[in-house]
Amino acid sequence: MDQNKNMVKPITQFACSDCGMTYKKWTGRCDGCGAWNSIQEEVPLSQGPSKKSLGTMKGKRMALTDLTTEETPPQRTLSGLSELDRVLGGGLVPSSATLVGGDPGIGKSTLLLQAAAAFANAGHSVVYVSGEEATAQVRMRAQRLGLGESSVKLAAETNLRDILTTLEAEKPDLCIIDSIQTMWVDTVDSAPGSVSQVRASAHELTTFAKRFGTSVILVGHVTKDGQIAGPRVVEHMVDTVLYFEGERGHQFRILRAVKNRFGPADEIGVFEMTGMGLAEVTNPSALFLGDRDAPAPGSVVFAGIEGTRPLLVEIQALVAPSQLSQPRRAVVGWDGSRLSMILAVLEARTGISFQGLDVYLNVAGGIRISEPAADLAVACALLSAREDASIPPETVVFGELSLSGALRPVSQAENRLKEAAKLGFTAAMAPKGCKTGDAGGMSLRLLPDLITLVGEVFGAG
Protein backbone atom coordinates (compact mmCIF):
# COMPACT_ATOMS: atom_id res chain seq x y z
CA MET A 1 0.00 0.00 0.00
CA ASP A 2 2.48 2.62 1.17
CA GLN A 3 5.05 2.61 -1.62
CA ASN A 4 7.07 5.53 -0.25
CA LYS A 5 8.33 3.38 2.62
CA ASN A 6 10.54 1.42 0.24
CA MET A 7 12.07 4.54 -1.27
CA VAL A 8 13.57 6.06 1.88
CA LYS A 9 16.27 3.40 2.06
CA PRO A 10 19.47 4.89 0.61
CA ILE A 11 20.36 2.83 -2.44
CA THR A 12 24.00 2.52 -3.40
CA GLN A 13 24.58 2.56 -7.09
CA PHE A 14 27.56 2.41 -9.38
CA ALA A 15 28.65 4.98 -11.94
CA CYS A 16 31.27 5.12 -14.68
CA SER A 17 33.89 7.75 -13.86
CA ASP A 18 34.52 8.31 -17.57
CA CYS A 19 31.08 8.92 -18.97
CA GLY A 20 28.87 8.96 -15.87
CA MET A 21 26.61 6.08 -16.88
CA THR A 22 24.97 4.55 -13.82
CA TYR A 23 24.50 0.89 -12.96
CA LYS A 24 22.64 -1.06 -10.29
CA LYS A 25 25.48 -3.59 -10.04
CA TRP A 26 29.24 -3.35 -10.46
CA THR A 27 30.58 -4.49 -13.80
CA GLY A 28 34.11 -4.64 -15.12
CA ARG A 29 33.44 -2.80 -18.34
CA CYS A 30 31.26 0.22 -19.01
CA ASP A 31 28.54 -0.32 -21.63
CA GLY A 32 28.39 3.42 -22.24
CA CYS A 33 31.97 4.14 -23.26
CA GLY A 34 33.70 0.78 -23.24
CA ALA A 35 36.20 1.72 -20.51
CA TRP A 36 37.52 -1.03 -18.23
CA ASN A 37 37.59 -0.72 -14.44
CA SER A 38 35.94 2.69 -14.51
CA ILE A 39 32.85 1.75 -12.48
CA GLN A 40 32.90 3.13 -8.94
CA GLU A 41 30.42 2.85 -6.12
CA GLU A 42 28.44 6.07 -5.65
CA VAL A 43 26.01 7.36 -3.09
CA PRO A 44 23.10 8.89 -4.97
CA LEU A 45 22.46 12.61 -4.51
CA SER A 46 18.84 12.15 -3.53
CA GLN A 47 16.13 9.55 -3.49
CA GLY A 48 15.03 10.77 -6.89
CA PRO A 49 11.75 12.37 -7.74
CA SER A 50 8.78 11.52 -5.61
CA LYS A 51 6.12 9.35 -7.15
CA LYS A 52 3.44 11.88 -6.21
CA SER A 53 2.68 14.49 -8.84
CA LEU A 54 3.44 18.11 -8.03
CA GLY A 55 -0.15 18.89 -8.82
CA THR A 56 -1.55 21.62 -10.99
CA MET A 57 -2.81 24.07 -8.41
CA LYS A 58 0.29 24.72 -6.30
CA GLY A 59 2.55 26.66 -8.68
CA LYS A 60 2.59 30.19 -10.04
CA ARG A 61 1.25 30.88 -13.55
CA MET A 62 4.19 31.51 -15.90
CA ALA A 63 4.24 34.30 -18.46
CA LEU A 64 4.30 32.75 -21.93
CA THR A 65 5.61 34.60 -24.97
CA ASP A 66 5.31 33.92 -28.67
CA LEU A 67 8.07 33.27 -31.20
CA THR A 68 8.00 36.76 -32.69
CA THR A 69 9.44 38.36 -29.55
CA GLU A 70 12.73 40.10 -30.37
CA GLU A 71 15.68 38.48 -28.66
CA THR A 72 18.77 40.55 -28.11
CA PRO A 73 21.98 38.55 -28.64
CA PRO A 74 23.94 37.89 -25.44
CA GLN A 75 26.47 40.51 -24.43
CA ARG A 76 30.01 39.30 -24.84
CA THR A 77 33.12 39.98 -22.87
CA LEU A 78 36.32 39.93 -24.88
CA SER A 79 39.55 38.75 -23.29
CA GLY A 80 41.75 40.29 -25.93
CA LEU A 81 43.28 36.85 -26.56
CA SER A 82 41.76 36.53 -30.01
CA GLU A 83 42.33 32.76 -30.29
CA LEU A 84 40.42 32.23 -27.03
CA ASP A 85 37.67 34.71 -27.92
CA ARG A 86 37.12 32.99 -31.25
CA VAL A 87 36.75 29.53 -29.71
CA LEU A 88 34.26 30.95 -27.22
CA GLY A 89 32.19 32.11 -30.20
CA GLY A 90 33.18 35.78 -29.96
CA GLY A 91 33.88 36.28 -26.27
CA LEU A 92 32.57 35.10 -22.93
CA VAL A 93 28.82 35.27 -22.22
CA PRO A 94 27.66 36.43 -18.76
CA SER A 95 25.87 33.79 -16.63
CA SER A 96 27.47 31.06 -18.70
CA ALA A 97 29.32 27.98 -17.56
CA THR A 98 32.30 26.78 -19.58
CA LEU A 99 34.22 23.56 -19.13
CA VAL A 100 37.86 23.42 -20.21
CA GLY A 101 39.02 19.81 -20.32
CA GLY A 102 42.38 18.33 -21.17
CA ASP A 103 45.13 15.96 -20.11
CA PRO A 104 46.95 16.80 -16.88
CA GLY A 105 50.05 18.89 -17.55
CA ILE A 106 48.98 19.99 -21.02
CA GLY A 107 48.84 23.66 -19.94
CA LYS A 108 45.22 24.30 -18.88
CA SER A 109 46.21 26.24 -15.77
CA THR A 110 48.68 28.33 -17.75
CA LEU A 111 46.05 29.13 -20.38
CA LEU A 112 43.41 30.03 -17.81
CA LEU A 113 45.78 32.12 -15.73
CA GLN A 114 46.65 34.06 -18.88
CA ALA A 115 42.94 34.34 -19.73
CA ALA A 116 42.18 35.52 -16.18
CA ALA A 117 44.86 38.21 -16.48
CA ALA A 118 43.62 39.23 -19.93
CA PHE A 119 40.02 39.63 -18.68
CA ALA A 120 41.27 41.52 -15.60
CA ASN A 121 43.36 43.84 -17.77
CA ALA A 122 40.28 44.48 -19.92
CA GLY A 123 38.61 45.89 -16.79
CA HIS A 124 36.63 42.89 -15.50
CA SER A 125 36.70 41.51 -11.97
CA VAL A 126 38.16 38.01 -11.93
CA VAL A 127 38.44 35.43 -9.14
CA TYR A 128 40.73 32.42 -9.63
CA VAL A 129 40.13 29.54 -7.23
CA SER A 130 42.77 26.85 -7.21
CA GLY A 131 42.09 23.54 -5.54
CA GLU A 132 45.32 22.09 -6.86
CA GLU A 133 47.97 24.56 -5.76
CA ALA A 134 48.59 26.99 -2.91
CA THR A 135 48.11 30.68 -3.72
CA ALA A 136 51.89 31.19 -3.48
CA GLN A 137 52.41 28.65 -6.24
CA VAL A 138 49.79 30.26 -8.47
CA ARG A 139 51.33 33.67 -7.81
CA MET A 140 54.80 32.36 -8.68
CA ARG A 141 53.49 30.92 -11.91
CA ALA A 142 51.79 34.22 -12.73
CA GLN A 143 55.02 36.11 -12.11
CA ARG A 144 56.93 33.68 -14.32
CA LEU A 145 54.40 34.39 -17.07
CA GLY A 146 54.81 38.14 -16.60
CA LEU A 147 51.30 38.53 -15.18
CA GLY A 148 52.35 39.63 -11.67
CA GLU A 149 50.78 43.08 -12.07
CA SER A 150 47.29 41.90 -12.99
CA SER A 151 44.36 42.44 -10.62
CA VAL A 152 43.17 38.81 -10.55
CA LYS A 153 42.04 37.73 -7.07
CA LEU A 154 43.38 34.37 -5.95
CA ALA A 155 42.18 31.78 -3.48
CA ALA A 156 43.24 28.23 -2.67
CA GLU A 157 40.13 26.39 -1.54
CA THR A 158 38.20 23.22 -2.20
CA ASN A 159 35.16 23.58 0.07
CA LEU A 160 32.42 24.75 -2.26
CA ARG A 161 30.30 26.24 0.53
CA ASP A 162 33.16 28.62 1.39
CA ILE A 163 33.84 29.36 -2.27
CA LEU A 164 30.19 30.21 -2.99
CA THR A 165 29.96 32.41 0.10
CA THR A 166 33.02 34.33 -1.08
CA LEU A 167 31.78 34.59 -4.65
CA GLU A 168 28.38 35.80 -3.51
CA ALA A 169 30.06 38.65 -1.62
CA GLU A 170 32.53 39.46 -4.42
CA LYS A 171 30.13 39.05 -7.38
CA PRO A 172 32.98 38.79 -9.91
CA ASP A 173 32.42 39.00 -13.67
CA LEU A 174 34.44 35.83 -14.13
CA CYS A 175 35.31 32.97 -11.80
CA ILE A 176 37.76 30.21 -12.71
CA ILE A 177 37.64 26.93 -10.78
CA ASP A 178 40.83 24.89 -11.14
CA SER A 179 39.85 22.06 -11.05
CA ILE A 180 36.32 20.75 -10.67
CA GLN A 181 37.68 17.36 -9.51
CA THR A 182 39.17 18.90 -6.34
CA MET A 183 35.93 20.59 -5.24
CA TRP A 184 33.58 19.05 -2.68
CA VAL A 185 30.09 19.76 -1.45
CA ASP A 186 29.53 18.95 2.24
CA THR A 187 26.02 17.62 1.64
CA VAL A 188 27.36 14.81 -0.55
CA ASP A 189 28.83 11.89 1.28
CA SER A 190 31.65 10.82 -1.01
CA ALA A 191 35.24 11.77 -1.72
CA PRO A 192 36.22 14.72 -3.94
CA GLY A 193 36.71 13.52 -7.50
CA SER A 194 33.86 10.98 -7.36
CA VAL A 195 31.12 11.25 -9.95
CA SER A 196 28.58 12.51 -7.40
CA GLN A 197 30.94 15.16 -5.95
CA VAL A 198 32.01 16.41 -9.38
CA ARG A 199 28.40 16.58 -10.54
CA ALA A 200 27.13 18.25 -7.37
CA SER A 201 29.97 20.82 -7.48
CA ALA A 202 29.36 21.59 -11.15
CA HIS A 203 25.64 21.92 -10.45
CA GLU A 204 26.25 24.38 -7.59
CA LEU A 205 28.61 26.46 -9.71
CA THR A 206 26.44 26.58 -12.83
CA THR A 207 23.45 27.54 -10.69
CA PHE A 208 25.54 30.30 -9.13
CA ALA A 209 26.52 31.52 -12.62
CA LYS A 210 22.87 31.74 -13.69
CA ARG A 211 21.76 33.52 -10.51
CA PHE A 212 24.50 36.11 -10.22
CA GLY A 213 25.44 36.77 -13.85
CA THR A 214 29.00 35.54 -13.30
CA SER A 215 30.75 33.61 -16.06
CA VAL A 216 32.16 30.43 -14.57
CA ILE A 217 34.99 28.45 -16.14
CA LEU A 218 35.57 24.94 -14.79
CA VAL A 219 38.84 23.14 -15.40
CA GLY A 220 38.50 19.37 -15.78
CA HIS A 221 41.36 16.90 -16.03
CA VAL A 222 40.91 14.06 -18.45
CA THR A 223 41.57 11.04 -16.27
CA LYS A 224 42.88 7.67 -17.28
CA ASP A 225 42.67 5.39 -14.26
CA GLY A 226 38.94 5.67 -13.48
CA GLN A 227 39.52 6.54 -9.80
CA ILE A 228 38.54 10.15 -10.49
CA ALA A 229 35.56 11.29 -12.55
CA GLY A 230 36.48 12.84 -15.87
CA PRO A 231 35.16 16.06 -17.41
CA ARG A 232 32.66 14.15 -19.54
CA VAL A 233 30.37 13.65 -16.55
CA VAL A 234 29.61 17.41 -16.46
CA GLU A 235 29.57 18.15 -20.20
CA HIS A 236 25.76 18.17 -20.32
CA MET A 237 25.53 20.65 -17.42
CA VAL A 238 27.55 23.48 -18.97
CA ASP A 239 26.92 25.81 -21.91
CA THR A 240 30.28 25.47 -23.57
CA VAL A 241 32.76 22.60 -23.63
CA LEU A 242 36.31 23.27 -24.75
CA TYR A 243 39.11 20.73 -24.94
CA PHE A 244 42.74 21.70 -24.76
CA GLU A 245 44.75 19.27 -26.88
CA GLY A 246 48.30 18.80 -27.99
CA GLU A 247 51.12 16.33 -28.08
CA ARG A 248 53.72 16.54 -25.33
CA GLY A 249 56.52 16.49 -27.90
CA HIS A 250 55.07 19.36 -29.92
CA GLN A 251 55.11 23.04 -29.09
CA PHE A 252 51.61 23.90 -30.16
CA ARG A 253 48.32 23.43 -28.32
CA ILE A 254 44.81 23.47 -29.72
CA LEU A 255 41.75 24.71 -27.89
CA ARG A 256 38.76 23.06 -29.52
CA ALA A 257 35.07 23.83 -28.95
CA VAL A 258 33.11 20.57 -28.90
CA LYS A 259 29.87 22.14 -27.64
CA ASN A 260 28.88 25.78 -27.64
CA ARG A 261 25.39 27.05 -26.87
CA PHE A 262 26.46 30.56 -27.93
CA GLY A 263 28.57 29.96 -31.01
CA PRO A 264 29.77 27.47 -33.59
CA ALA A 265 31.13 24.15 -32.33
CA ASP A 266 34.29 22.74 -33.96
CA GLU A 267 36.01 26.11 -33.76
CA ILE A 268 39.68 25.88 -32.84
CA GLY A 269 42.24 28.26 -31.39
CA VAL A 270 45.92 27.56 -31.86
CA PHE A 271 48.58 28.39 -29.28
CA GLU A 272 52.28 27.80 -29.02
CA MET A 273 53.88 26.85 -25.70
CA THR A 274 56.78 29.20 -25.05
CA GLY A 275 58.94 30.04 -22.04
CA MET A 276 56.56 32.95 -21.36
CA GLY A 277 53.42 30.82 -21.45
CA LEU A 278 51.09 30.27 -24.35
CA ALA A 279 51.46 32.52 -27.38
CA GLU A 280 48.69 32.90 -29.91
CA VAL A 281 49.34 31.51 -33.37
CA THR A 282 47.60 33.71 -35.89
CA ASN A 283 48.76 31.76 -38.94
CA PRO A 284 48.50 28.08 -37.98
CA SER A 285 48.96 26.79 -41.54
CA ALA A 286 52.45 28.27 -41.63
CA LEU A 287 53.16 26.61 -38.28
CA PHE A 288 51.96 23.16 -39.36
CA LEU A 289 53.77 23.28 -42.71
CA GLY A 290 56.81 25.04 -41.26
CA ASP A 291 59.14 22.09 -40.90
CA ARG A 292 58.06 20.19 -43.98
CA ASP A 293 60.66 17.85 -45.43
CA ALA A 294 61.63 17.74 -49.09
CA PRO A 295 58.80 16.31 -51.22
CA ALA A 296 58.67 12.57 -50.79
CA PRO A 297 56.27 9.88 -51.97
CA GLY A 298 53.39 9.60 -49.53
CA SER A 299 53.34 13.27 -48.55
CA VAL A 300 50.32 15.39 -49.51
CA VAL A 301 49.19 18.82 -48.31
CA PHE A 302 45.52 18.88 -47.34
CA ALA A 303 43.64 22.18 -47.48
CA GLY A 304 41.22 21.82 -44.57
CA ILE A 305 38.74 23.95 -42.67
CA GLU A 306 38.71 23.93 -38.88
CA GLY A 307 35.68 25.80 -37.55
CA THR A 308 35.52 28.98 -39.57
CA ARG A 309 39.17 29.03 -40.56
CA PRO A 310 41.16 27.33 -43.32
CA LEU A 311 44.08 25.21 -42.15
CA LEU A 312 46.73 23.50 -44.27
CA VAL A 313 48.30 20.33 -42.92
CA GLU A 314 50.58 17.68 -44.32
CA ILE A 315 49.28 14.13 -44.53
CA GLN A 316 51.93 11.43 -44.67
CA ALA A 317 51.51 7.79 -45.65
CA LEU A 318 53.96 4.93 -45.58
CA VAL A 319 53.24 1.59 -47.24
CA ALA A 320 55.62 -1.31 -46.64
CA PRO A 321 55.53 -5.10 -47.15
CA SER A 322 54.13 -6.76 -44.05
CA GLN A 323 55.61 -9.63 -42.08
CA LEU A 324 52.29 -10.18 -40.35
CA SER A 325 49.38 -12.33 -41.40
CA GLN A 326 47.14 -9.40 -40.45
CA PRO A 327 48.93 -6.34 -41.91
CA ARG A 328 49.21 -3.28 -39.71
CA ARG A 329 46.93 -0.26 -40.13
CA ALA A 330 48.28 2.52 -37.93
CA VAL A 331 46.77 6.01 -37.91
CA VAL A 332 47.85 9.12 -36.02
CA GLY A 333 45.62 12.20 -36.16
CA TRP A 334 42.83 10.71 -38.24
CA ASP A 335 40.00 8.19 -37.94
CA GLY A 336 41.12 4.57 -38.25
CA SER A 337 37.83 3.28 -39.61
CA ARG A 338 37.82 6.03 -42.23
CA LEU A 339 41.26 4.79 -43.36
CA SER A 340 39.88 1.24 -43.71
CA MET A 341 37.02 2.63 -45.78
CA ILE A 342 39.36 4.46 -48.14
CA LEU A 343 41.58 1.41 -48.56
CA ALA A 344 38.48 -0.66 -49.37
CA VAL A 345 37.20 1.91 -51.90
CA LEU A 346 40.63 2.10 -53.56
CA GLU A 347 40.76 -1.65 -53.89
CA ALA A 348 37.18 -2.09 -55.09
CA ARG A 349 37.03 0.82 -57.53
CA THR A 350 40.56 1.02 -58.94
CA GLY A 351 41.86 -2.50 -58.31
CA ILE A 352 44.87 -1.18 -56.40
CA SER A 353 45.27 -3.54 -53.49
CA PHE A 354 46.97 -2.96 -50.14
CA GLN A 355 46.84 -6.64 -49.22
CA GLY A 356 50.01 -7.88 -47.56
CA LEU A 357 51.13 -4.30 -46.97
CA ASP A 358 51.46 -2.42 -43.70
CA VAL A 359 49.88 1.04 -43.94
CA TYR A 360 50.88 3.93 -41.69
CA LEU A 361 49.08 7.26 -41.89
CA ASN A 362 50.12 10.36 -39.99
CA VAL A 363 48.84 13.92 -39.84
CA ALA A 364 52.07 15.87 -39.40
CA GLY A 365 52.47 18.20 -36.44
CA GLY A 366 50.19 16.16 -34.17
CA ILE A 367 46.89 17.85 -35.01
CA ARG A 368 43.69 15.77 -35.29
CA ILE A 369 41.64 16.03 -38.48
CA SER A 370 38.00 14.96 -38.52
CA GLU A 371 36.78 16.48 -41.80
CA PRO A 372 35.62 14.02 -44.51
CA ALA A 373 37.13 16.52 -46.96
CA ALA A 374 40.50 14.97 -46.10
CA ASP A 375 39.50 11.72 -47.91
CA LEU A 376 41.03 12.69 -51.23
CA ALA A 377 44.27 13.88 -49.63
CA VAL A 378 44.51 10.59 -47.73
CA ALA A 379 43.79 8.59 -50.89
CA CYS A 380 46.47 10.58 -52.73
CA ALA A 381 48.99 10.02 -49.93
CA LEU A 382 48.26 6.27 -49.95
CA LEU A 383 48.50 6.01 -53.74
CA SER A 384 51.63 8.17 -53.79
CA ALA A 385 53.29 5.93 -51.19
CA ARG A 386 52.10 2.74 -52.88
CA GLU A 387 53.19 3.79 -56.39
CA ASP A 388 56.33 5.58 -55.14
CA ALA A 389 55.30 8.70 -57.07
CA SER A 390 55.49 12.16 -55.45
CA ILE A 391 52.69 14.69 -55.70
CA PRO A 392 54.20 18.04 -56.82
CA PRO A 393 55.06 19.93 -53.60
CA GLU A 394 53.23 23.11 -54.61
CA THR A 395 49.90 21.24 -54.83
CA VAL A 396 47.10 21.11 -52.24
CA VAL A 397 44.38 18.46 -52.22
CA PHE A 398 40.86 18.25 -50.76
CA GLY A 399 37.60 16.40 -51.44
CA GLU A 400 35.29 13.77 -50.04
CA LEU A 401 35.24 10.21 -51.32
CA SER A 402 32.04 8.24 -51.71
CA LEU A 403 31.82 4.45 -51.57
CA SER A 404 31.17 4.37 -55.32
CA GLY A 405 34.59 5.88 -55.95
CA ALA A 406 33.10 9.22 -57.01
CA LEU A 407 34.52 12.42 -55.57
CA ARG A 408 32.10 14.70 -53.77
CA PRO A 409 32.45 18.47 -53.70
CA VAL A 410 33.08 19.96 -50.27
CA SER A 411 32.13 23.29 -48.72
CA GLN A 412 34.27 26.44 -48.63
CA ALA A 413 36.47 25.42 -51.56
CA GLU A 414 37.23 29.06 -52.31
CA ASN A 415 38.50 29.71 -48.76
CA ARG A 416 40.69 26.62 -48.90
CA LEU A 417 42.22 27.75 -52.20
CA LYS A 418 42.78 31.31 -50.98
CA GLU A 419 44.65 30.09 -47.92
CA ALA A 420 46.80 27.81 -50.10
CA ALA A 421 47.55 30.65 -52.53
CA LYS A 422 48.50 32.87 -49.59
CA LEU A 423 51.09 30.30 -48.48
CA GLY A 424 52.63 30.02 -51.94
CA PHE A 425 50.87 26.96 -53.35
CA THR A 426 50.12 27.21 -57.07
CA ALA A 427 48.02 24.12 -57.88
CA ALA A 428 45.11 22.21 -56.39
CA MET A 429 43.33 18.90 -56.87
CA ALA A 430 39.66 18.86 -55.93
CA PRO A 431 36.39 17.15 -56.84
CA LYS A 432 34.49 18.30 -59.89
CA GLY A 433 31.64 20.62 -58.93
CA CYS A 434 33.40 22.51 -56.13
CA LYS A 435 32.54 26.22 -56.02
CA THR A 436 36.05 27.50 -56.51
CA GLY A 437 35.42 31.17 -57.40
CA ASP A 438 38.51 32.67 -59.00
CA ALA A 439 40.59 29.96 -57.26
CA GLY A 440 43.04 32.54 -55.94
CA GLY A 441 44.89 32.35 -59.28
CA MET A 442 45.78 28.68 -58.80
CA SER A 443 45.79 26.05 -61.50
CA LEU A 444 42.99 23.60 -60.76
CA ARG A 445 42.59 19.95 -61.51
CA LEU A 446 38.95 19.02 -60.93
CA LEU A 447 38.41 15.27 -60.85
CA PRO A 448 35.12 13.35 -61.12
CA ASP A 449 36.23 10.07 -59.53
CA LEU A 450 39.06 7.87 -58.29
CA ILE A 451 39.62 6.13 -61.64
CA THR A 452 40.40 9.49 -63.25
CA LEU A 453 42.71 10.37 -60.35
CA VAL A 454 44.62 7.11 -60.67
CA GLY A 455 44.85 7.38 -64.46
CA GLU A 456 45.76 11.06 -64.74
CA VAL A 457 47.85 11.65 -61.67
CA PHE A 458 49.57 8.33 -61.09
CA GLY A 459 49.46 6.96 -64.62
CA ALA A 460 48.31 3.61 -63.34
CA GLY A 461 45.09 1.70 -63.49
Of 23-31, 47-55, 199-207, 341-349, the window that binds Zn ion (rule: CB under 5 A) is 23-31
User: Toward Zn ion, which CB reaches closer, 19 or 331?
Assistant: 19
| Contact status: 16 vs Zn ion (CB under 5 A) | yes
Distance of CA 399 to the CA centre of its chain: 23
Q: How far is the CB of 223 from Zn ion (least distance, A)?
A: 12
Q: How far is the CB of 31 from Zn ion (least distance, A)?
A: 8
User: Toward Zn ion, which CB reaches closer, 226 or 295?
Assistant: 226
The response to whether 321 counts as a known ligand-binding position is: no
Q: How far is the CB of 184 from Zn ion (least distance, A)?
A: 22
Q: How far is the CB of 339 from Zn ion (least distance, A)?
A: 26
Of 22-30, 242-250, 262-270, 391-399, the window that binds Zn ion (rule: CB under 5 A) is 22-30
Q: How far is the CB of 30 from Zn ion (least distance, A)?
A: 3
Question: Using CB atoms within 10 A of its CB, is residue 394 exposed (0-12), middle (13-18) or buried (19+)?
Answer: middle
Separation of alpha carbons 381 and 343, rounded Å: 11
Nearest CA to 378 out of 394, 365, 397, 364 is that of 397
Instruction: Name residues contacting Zn ion, limited to 235-294 (CB under 5 A).
Output: none
User: Toward Zn ion, which CB reaches closer, 33 or 389?
Assistant: 33
The correct pick among 15, 30, 87, 429 for binding Zn ion (CB under 5 A) is 30
Angle at 388 between CA 387 and CA 391, to 5 degrees: 95
| Contact status: 93 vs Zn ion (CB under 5 A) | no
| Contact status: 19 vs Zn ion (CB under 5 A) | yes
Question: Using CB atoms within 10 A of its CB, is residue 358 exposed (0-12), middle (13-18) or buried (19+)?
Answer: middle
Of 18-26, 262-270, 282-290, 348-356, the window that binds Zn ion (rule: CB under 5 A) is 18-26
Number of residues that bind Zn ion (CB under 5 A): 7
Q: How far is the CB of 162 from Zn ion (least distance, A)?
A: 32
Q: How far is the CB of 34 from Zn ion (least distance, A)?
A: 7
Q: How far is the CB of 27 from Zn ion (least distance, A)?
A: 10
The response to whether 146 counts as a known ligand-binding position is: no
User: Toward Zn ion, which CB reaches closer, 29 or 328?
Assistant: 29
Of 21-29, 158-166, 417-425, 447-455, the window that binds Zn ion (rule: CB under 5 A) is 21-29
The correct pick among 13, 23, 32, 204 for binding Zn ion (CB under 5 A) is 32
The response to whether 105 counts as a known ligand-binding position is: yes
User: Toward Zn ion, which CB reaches closer, 33 or 265?
Assistant: 33
The response to whether 102 counts as a known ligand-binding position is: yes
| Contact status: 113 vs Zn ion (CB under 5 A) | no
| Contact status: 33 vs Zn ion (CB under 5 A) | yes
| Contact status: 222 vs Zn ion (CB under 5 A) | no
Nearest CA to 258 out of 91, 92, 98, 107 is that of 98
User: Toward Zn ion, which CB reaches closer, 30 or 112?
Assistant: 30
Cross-strand partners of 156 = 130
Decide: 202 and 241 in contact? Cβ < 8 Å: no
Of 12-20, 144-152, 315-323, 349-357, the window that binds Zn ion (rule: CB under 5 A) is 12-20
User: Toward Zn ion, which CB reaches closer, 32 or 90?
Assistant: 32
Q: How far is the CB of 418 from Zn ion (least distance, A)?
A: 43
The response to whether 290 counts as a known ligand-binding position is: no
Of 19-27, 68-76, 150-158, 176-184, the window that binds Zn ion (rule: CB under 5 A) is 19-27
User: Toward Zn ion, which CB reaches closer, 20 or 107?
Assistant: 20
The response to whether 107 counts as a known ligand-binding position is: yes
The response to whether 440 counts as a known ligand-binding position is: no
| Contact status: 341 vs Zn ion (CB under 5 A) | no
The correct pick among 18, 42, 306, 419 for binding Zn ion (CB under 5 A) is 18
Q: What is the 3-state secondary structure (H, E, C) of the chain?
A: CCCHHHHCCCCCEEEECCCCCEECCCCCECCCCCCECCEEEECCCCCCCCCCCCCCCCCCCCCCCCCCCCCCCCCCECCCCHHHHHHCCCCECCCCEEEEEECCCCCHHHHHHHHHHHHHHCCCCEEEEECCCCHHHHHHHHHHCCCCCCCCEEEECCEHHHHHHHHHHHCCCEEEEECHHHCECCCCCCCCCCHHHHHHHHHHHHHHHHHHCCEEEEEEECCCCCCCCCHHHHHHHCCEEEEEECCCCCCEEEEEEEEECCCCCCCEEEEEEECCEEEECCCHHHHHHCCCCCCCCCEEEEEEEECCEEEEEEEEEEEEECCCCCCCEEEECCCHHHHHHHHHHHHHHHCCCCCCEEEEEEEHHHCCCCCHHHHHHHHHHHHHHHHCCCCCCCEEECCEECCCCEEECCCCHHHHHHHHHHCCCCEEEEECCCCCCCHHHCEEEEECEHHHHHHHHCCCC
Binding residues: 102-109
Interface with Zn ion (CB under 5 A): 16, 18-19, 21, 30, 32-33
Binding residues for ATP: 102-109
